[in-house]
Amino acid sequence: MSSSDFFTKFSDEASCKAYFKARRELEHSTCKQCGSLHTYWQEKENRWRCKECKHAMGLKKGTVMENSNLNYKVWLWSLYFVTLTKKGFSALELQRLVGHRRYEPIWGLMQKIRVAMGHRDEKYTLDGFIEMDEGFFEGHRKKDEEGLRTKPAKELDRQVKAIVAVSTTPIITGEDKKGRPITKPGYLKISVVQSLSKTDIAYEAEKIVAQTSYVTTDGKTSYRTLNDICGNHTAIVVKDKKQVIKIFPWVHIAISNAKKKILGLHHSVKDIYMQNYLNEFCYKFNRRYFGIKMFDRLMVAALEKPWYKS
For residue 141, the 8-state DSSP code is P
Burial of residue 230 (CB within 10 Å: 0-12, 13-18, 19+) is buried
Residue 102 CB, nearest approach to Zn ion (Å):
38
Cβ-based nearer residue to Zn ion, 17 or 28 = 28
Q: Report the site for Zn ion in 260-289 (rule: CB under 5 A).
A: none
Residue 197 CB, nearest approach to Zn ion (Å):
48
Q: Is 31 in the site for Zn ion (CB under 5 A)?
A: yes
Single residue of 3, 5, 11, 34 touching Zn ion by CB under 5 A: 34
Single residue of 33, 197, 199, 227 touching Zn ion by CB under 5 A: 33
Site residue total, Zn ion (CB under 5 A): 8
- Residue 81: CB atoms within 10 Å: 19
Burial of residue 131 (CB within 10 Å: 0-12, 13-18, 19+) is buried
Residue 45 CB, nearest approach to Zn ion (Å):
16
For residue 74, the 8-state DSSP code is H
Cα 291 to Cα 304: distance, rounded to the nearest angstrom = 21
Cβ-based nearer residue to Zn ion, 29 or 256 = 29
Residue 42 CB, nearest approach to Zn ion (Å):
14
Q: Is 32 in the site for Zn ion (CB under 5 A)?
A: no
Cα 67 to Cα 125: distance, rounded to the nearest angstrom = 31
Cα angle 130-134-139, degrees, rounded to a multiple of 5: 135
94-100: Cβ within 8 A, 24+ apart: 98/73, 98/74, 100/70, 100/74
Residue 188 CB, nearest approach to Zn ion (Å):
42
Binding string to Zn ion for residues 45 to 64, with x set by CB under 5 A, is what?
-----x-xx-x---------
Cα 153 to Cα 157: distance, rounded to the nearest angstrom = 7
Q: Tell me which stretch binds Zn ion (CB under 5 A): 30-38, 67-75, 154-162, 210-218.
A: 30-38
Cα 279 to Cα 162: distance, rounded to the nearest angstrom = 12
Q: Is 212 in the site for Zn ion (CB under 5 A)?
A: no
Cβ-based nearer residue to Zn ion, 11 or 42 = 42
Q: Is 37 in the site for Zn ion (CB under 5 A)?
A: no
Q: Tell me which stretch binds Zn ion (CB under 5 A): 33-41, 68-76, 85-93, 223-231.
A: 33-41
Applying CB under 5 A, which residues contact Zn ion? 31, 33-34, 36, 50, 52-53, 55
